[in-house]
Structure 1
Amino acid sequence: MASAETFVFYIAQKVLEKLGSLTFQEARLIWGAESDLRRLEKTLSTIKAVLLDAEEQQVHNQELTVWLGQLKEVFYDAQDVLDEFECEALRRQVVETQGSTTRKVRRFFSSSNPLLFRTKMAHKVKEIRALLDKVAADRAKFHLSERSDDRHVVRGREMSYSFVQASDVIGRDQDKENIVEHLMDPSDGQSISVVPVVGIGGLGKTALAKLVFNDERVIEHFELKCWVCVSDEFVLKQLLVKIIKSITSENRSDLDEEQLQVLLRNNLDGKKFLIVLDDVWNEDRGKWIELRNLLMGGANGSKILVTTRSPTIASMMGTMSPFNLEGLLHQDCLSLFIKWAFDEGKERQHINLVEIGDAIVKKCKGVPLAVKSLGSLLYSKLDERDWLFVRDNEMWKLNRKEGDILSVLQLSYNQMPYYLKQCFALLSLLPKDYNFNTFDLIPYWMANGLLQSPNENQQPEDVGNQYIDGLYSRCFLEDYIDLGFMRAFKIHDLAHDLALSSAQSECLIINCQVQNIPKKVWHLSYTDNTWHNENVLKCLQKSKSLRTILFTVEGVGPSTKSFVDLCLSKFRYLRVLDLSDSSFEVLPSSIGTMKHLRLLDLTNNCRIHKLPNSICKLQNLQTLKLHGCEKIEELPKDIRYLIRLRTFSITTKQKCLPRCSNSLRALGLFNCGNLESLVETMQVCTSLRFLLIVNCGGLTSLPPTLKFLTMLEALGIENCEKLDLTEMEDNQDDFPTSLRSLRFTGLPQLVAMPNWIKHSAKSLQILDIQSCPNLTTLPEWLVNLESLRQLTILNCHKLSCLSKGKLCLPALRSFRIAECPELIRRCQPEIGEDWHKIAHASEIYLDYKRIK
């Protein structure tokens, strides 16, 4: 498994990058310490050259592991010191640009005497340099070799989809038929039957369950279907919330357990249902019986399908013999391997590689995840030596209880570049089955300084998307959906285990079992209410170097100001502070002293009324999340001073929002019912790439300045009853031409599609129109959307045809129409007047049923 100390090479590289950056060069000329900084840089470069060798050799040398741990601490301390130079440079930048005409700004950003700052920083740099010299002196005794990291992210082929495609699951047809037969059997003598599927990790239990869940016969047989990922925790309330959310699409975590039980019984009463409990680990029979009793209100013939790795659990929960999932046959494994290792048909040109691949597949023992992982690892590699390296690797000598699958994944992990390894490791802080999306994950990586690009002009959000694609191409991710402007996914259970192993001493998940928090922990997350546990709080006070605090379970967050006070007083170097689902009333004004903070999340705090204006002193802040804070009266008036803010989500009672910084890239407005104008907010946001406006009932129009957002890629507008989108029809030639995704939902004022959309004809890939009751026609220029690959139209009853003229969308792959009676009639296969316009799409749904 992963080495005891990891990422040391990468952290050293990040410190060197910071020392060489233009921002820092300017800062150190102003604030001095030039000589010590040059010596620090020289020592660091010398050490970095041998770190890759050191990280590899430490497996056999505990003393080397200790040395690397000492280096890592010094490197992190160096990052913090160098950050202080940048913070001061940013403060000066705000004063110079915003405060040239007013003393008020200068007073707001007043700091200590420049001479004192210079003296203090010179002392800190000297201290760091001395520490590094002391630790570095020991490197000679380890006889390390110089090496460089020349690995890079290889992007795999596009294989994204929103559910399991039958064609992508090989060798499970008979298994599917057997399970479907059990689910539809009315004569098994049980009012509610439990069908267990058991097998080792990576065997494809979840993929098989999804095939069954989406089978047309199953869909028609059951009145109600529900999918719940259970994973490690088997907490009744959390399971009830998940089941109800799957059935009703509503999150009712605000209800207590008794209310949830009543709501569940009401939803299941008398209905024949299918519930899938995926990835069950709980062996406590009492907990299972407690849940089972709540599910007994359904009609006869209801079924529960359980997937688990444990035969004990399968036997405990099942009302029939467990369905033991076996490994794939060799020929099926080879077919799967070829599908992932070659572009279609290209394997015929490389018979020698197929022969080596055959030997590799035999070692995978029928485990599909192992086969896919190694196939994707070798994709696009045509040098025979790469294939022989995998076939003859020492990992096959290791014996692991998961059928060597973790060793296989470890090989894929080892081949990753170091910057991607650390991003992957931080995923371990989120629980298994966590629903990731790029708008949450990429700012988290960015806040910890993990995104790097050889191209200075490349946006960090684009780099983050490339990292996610890199993890997906290695089969570490599942349920992967590429929406163009956003990716959504989960991390595979076994990949999560690997991430936990690779994170090791850097990351810690806090729960009721944790008795001690090591001093070297830099990132931690809470999975329950232990944030107020006295022992945990006492241990936290010893961990002064924390960079990340996360609350990862929906509905669980700190409720007292004392916990926030502890965070702000003890953890001065925090980069990420996630206080989502909290319920304290006041955010202390001392938040303004957290100058290293990059991400602050107050999502769904239902009690806070306002934010202190001191928050506007956080010049390093990149992400601020305030959506769901429904009692906020107004935003701080100096919000424009956040000159590095890139992602901003808001819920507020204001009629007009204050002006934001032109650094903004993503803006989300949620439940701002009083909002009437966006003119001032959008005045300088010319670099905006994503704009989402949801439930803003008072908004009547979008500002004319929208036409200057030439970088806008995604626009979503939902449930804005008064919004008239046709008011911007003047000067249409000035409207954005870079839109890739457009979503209109719940817009009663929308009678016809705005003409300004046609200027994105070459770029628009996704068009989603829902619940626009007065929309009567689609425009003739629809035919010009040459890049459109996904078209969705739902609940637009007055819409009678796709377009009056000829419609040919050459890139169209997914076409969905529902609750549009006349349009559905015209799109009927073969016989509908509009069928020929969409027949070339590879995926067609009419009234939620897949036609093609």
Structure 2
Amino acid sequence: MENNDILPALRLSYHHLPSHLKRLFAYCSLFSKDYEFDKHELVLLWMAEGFLRPSETHNEMEDVGFQCFDELLSRSFFQRSKTGAESRFVMHDLVNDLARHVAGRVSFSLDDEAESNVQHRRDSLLKARHSSLIRHDYDGSQRFEAFSGVRKLRTFLPLPVFKTSIWQEFYLTNQVIYDLLPQLHFLRVLSLSGYNILQLPNAIGNLKLLRYLNVSGTRVEQLPETVTELYNLQTLLLRDCRRLTKLPANTGNLINLRHLDIAGTKELKEMPVGLCKMASLQTLSKIVLGRGLKVNELRGLSNLRGALSIIGLHNVMDAQDAREANLPCKQGLEELEMVWSNDFDDSRNGMIEREVIELLKPSTNLRRLGVKHYEGVEFPSWLGDPSFSQLAHISLSDCRHCTSLPSLGHLTSLKKLNISGIQGVKTVGNELCGIDWPHVRDAFPSLETWNLLTW
């Protein structure tokens, strides 16, 4: 792309960018034209590359990244995707051309060089620090011949970053996984997302500089223990690894980990102890309680943000463990799901469960709450408290022994209420509104959807 082919106004806009935004924008040259990228996804990549630093106004690198993203968006370097997804964005073709032009030889797209010979691609890769490629149905060893002898790459990024369809199958030759990748000792970013790989090599632990590892949507059943030797790792993405059965025993050693996404891992039945050591953790999509891990390990994770599911609460035998979890201090949590076992057998203790849910009172910043398979006879006293002024969505399901519903009418932001499987409740009266009959019309001022399913 010749400099003259880029619109002068576009070049001028880039020229007036602060230096740190120029660097972030140039990194987007890795994205192909028309590629839809996620805001959070891009910020995590920027962070892994070392582009983000805490500022005077933002202590967290992620917040700095979001601010930079919004500034590039406001200057029209990004635009919202037409798909309607709130967090999806694209670059105009001309903007993409500009990004590739300013990135120069630092970034390498395997697909852009597909027509050139192997030696030419290798020469380009030797000068590059970041590489991307579009996943094919089968990525064999021949496609990666140019990577032979390349040692200084920092980024290995197949696109799209996340698998777009569960029906698509992408295969990657073992030669890349076992021979090529372990040689790339300078990697900061490694994504194998969406490939039908079954395992990672033990040699993955030799990539000591790695900060971002994405194996989402793969068929891995477990990670090698050597992953826990990646002490610089900030982001570990295992979303929709539907065969994943366990995490490495020493996962807690990843003390610099900030994002652990294990959503959609239905076969993950327990998690290792030691999570409380990961004090920098912001994303923990779920915690699975079992023989080892206790709910009180949440106590040290005061930086948690976004959504958290606590699975296996029937395993909490001491209610004080719930108090020690210290959920009220986790101001960044916006979504919380509490899940007990769907097996209502004699091993369950409704009195303990009632105390546990009472002590698991979350921060009043909560926007979404789900309670599932709870065996207590009543819901916690905090559920329905007007102090939860941001709570917009509540789901109560299969809490079959509860004999009354919580008073929720004072929740001024509540828009969606789903209640099902509460078999102990025989009638629904004014108690749900929490307001005497003459003023019942004042209850639920924001409610849009109300589903009370037959039980």
Q: For the superposition of Structure 1 and Structure 2, which TM-score range results when normalised by the shorter chain?
A: 0.7 to 0.9
Q: Distance in 1 between matches of 2:13 and 2:443?
A: 39
Q: Does 1:546 align with 2:165?
A: no
Q: Distance in 2 between matches of 1:531 and 1:521?
A: 25
Matches within 5 A, 1:90-105: none
Aligned to 1:716: 335
- Deviation track 1:290-317 (CA, whole Å, cap 9, x = no partner) reads xxxxxxxxxxxxxxxxxxxxxxxxxxxx
Q: Does 1:768 align with 2:393?
A: yes
Aligned to 2:103: 503
Matches within 5 A, 1:594-605: 594-605=207-218
Aligned to 1:638: 250
1:477 alignment partner AA: Q
- Deviation track 1:301-355 (CA, whole Å, cap 9, x = no partner) reads xxxxxxxxxxxxxxxxxxxxxxxxxxxxxxxxxxxxxxxxxxxxxxxxxxxxxxx
Matches within 5 A, 1:323-342: none
Matches within 5 A, 1:133-282: none
Q: Does 1:444 align with 2:45?
A: yes
Matches within 5 A, 1:294-309: none
Q: Distance in 1 between matches of 2:89 and 2:279?
A: 33
Aligned to 1:690: 306
- Deviation track 1:670-704 (CA, whole Å, cap 9, x = no partner) reads 9x69899642642532332334228x5x5437861
Aligned to 2:408: 779
1:632 is paired with a residue whose SS is coil
Q: Which runs of 4+ in 1 moved over 6 A?
A: 480-483, 672-676, 750-753, 797-802, 806-810
2:295 is paired with a residue whose SS is coil
Structure 1 position 458, deviation (Å): 0.7
Unaligned runs of 5+ residues in structure 1 are 4-397, 401-405, 823-852
Matches within 5 A, 1:381-460: 406-455=7-56, 458-460=59-61
Aligned to 1:297: none
Q: Does 1:493 align with 2:92?
A: yes
Higher deviation after alignment, 722-731 or 595-604: 722-731
Q: Distance in 1 between matches of 2:73 and 2:114?
A: 32
Aligned to 2:347: none
Q: How many residues align?
A: 404
Quick check: 2:141–2:173 contact (8 Å CA) kept in 1?
no
Q: Distance in 2 between matches of 1:434 and 1:753?
A: 46
Matches within 5 A, 1:349-388: none
Question: Sequence identity of aligned pairs in percent?
Answer: 25
2:326 alignment partner AA: K
1:792 alignment partner AA: K
1:447 alignment partner AA: A
Calculate the TM-score normalised by the size of structure 1. Answer: 0.41
Q: Does 1:741 align with 2:367?
A: yes
Q: Structure 1's 741 and 480: CA in aligned 2 closer, same or farther, altered over 3 A?
A: farther
Q: Distance in 1 between matches of 2:28 and 2:5?
A: 26
Q: Structure 1's 584 and 767: CA in aligned 2 closer, same or farther, altered over 3 A?
A: same
Quick check: 1:665–1:688 contact (8 Å CA) kept in 2?
yes
Structure 1 position 409, deviation (Å): 3.9
Structure 1 position 537, deviation (Å): 1.9
Q: Distance in 2 between matches of 1:424 and 1:410?
A: 13
- Deviation track 1:122-170 (CA, whole Å, cap 9, x = no partner) reads xxxxxxxxxxxxxxxxxxxxxxxxxxxxxxxxxxxxxxxxxxxxxxxxx
Structure 1 position 473, deviation (Å): 1.8
Structure 1 position 449, deviation (Å): 0.7
Give the RMSD, CA atoms, in angstroms: 4.2
Q: For 1:700, which of 314, 319, 334 is the aligned residue?
A: 314
- Deviation track 1:447-492 (CA, whole Å, cap 9, x = no partner) reads 0011123328611121122122212222322149999xxx712124
Structure 1 position 509, deviation (Å): 2.6
Q: Distance in 2 between matches of 1:407 and 1:771?
A: 57
Quick check: 2:191–2:213 contact (8 Å CA) kept in 1?
yes
Structure 1 position 528, deviation (Å): 2.8
Q: For 1:577, which of 190, 197, 216 is the aligned residue?
A: 190
Q: Structure 1's 596 and 776: CA in aligned 2 closer, same or farther, altered over 3 A?
A: same
Q: Does 1:563 align with 2:161?
A: no
Aligned to 2:285: 668
Q: Structure 1's 584 and 769: CA in aligned 2 closer, same or farther, altered over 3 A?
A: same
Quick check: 2:147–2:180 contact (8 Å CA) kept in 1?
no
Q: Structure 1's 691 and 818: CA in aligned 2 closer, same or farther, altered over 3 A?
A: closer
Q: Distance in 2 between matches of 1:699 and 1:411?
A: 57
Q: For 2:356, which of 713, 728, 731 is the aligned residue?
A: 728
Q: Distance in 1 between matches of 2:89 and 2:104?
A: 21
Q: Structure 1's 445 and 425: CA in aligned 2 closer, same or farther, altered over 3 A?
A: same
Q: Structure 1's 728 and 673: CA in aligned 2 closer, same or farther, altered over 3 A?
A: closer
Q: Distance in 2 between matches of 1:522 and 1:580?
A: 20
Aligned to 1:657: 272
2:314 is paired with a residue whose SS is coil
Matches within 5 A, 1:610-629: 610-629=222-241
Calculate the TM-score normalised by the size of structure 2. Answer: 0.73
2:26 is paired with a residue whose SS is helix
Aligned to 1:356: none
Who wins on radius of gyration, i.e. which is larger?
A: 1
Q: Does 1:793 align with 2:412?
A: no
Q: Distance in 1 between matches of 2:37 and 2:386?
A: 29
2:274 alignment partner AA: R
Q: Structure 1's 804 and 684: CA in aligned 2 closer, same or farther, altered over 3 A?
A: closer
Unaligned runs of 5+ residues in structure 2 are 343-349, 423-427
2:175 is paired with a residue whose SS is helix
Instruction: Give the helix-richer structure, 1 or 2.
Output: 1
1:782 is paired with a residue whose SS is coil
Q: Distance in 2 between matches of 1:719 and 1:679?
A: 11
Structure 1 position 758, deviation (Å): 6.8
1:629 alignment partner AA: C
Quick check: 1:435–1:488 contact (8 Å CA) kept in 2?
no
- Deviation track 1:246-283 (CA, whole Å, cap 9, x = no partner) reads xxxxxxxxxxxxxxxxxxxxxxxxxxxxxxxxxxxxxx
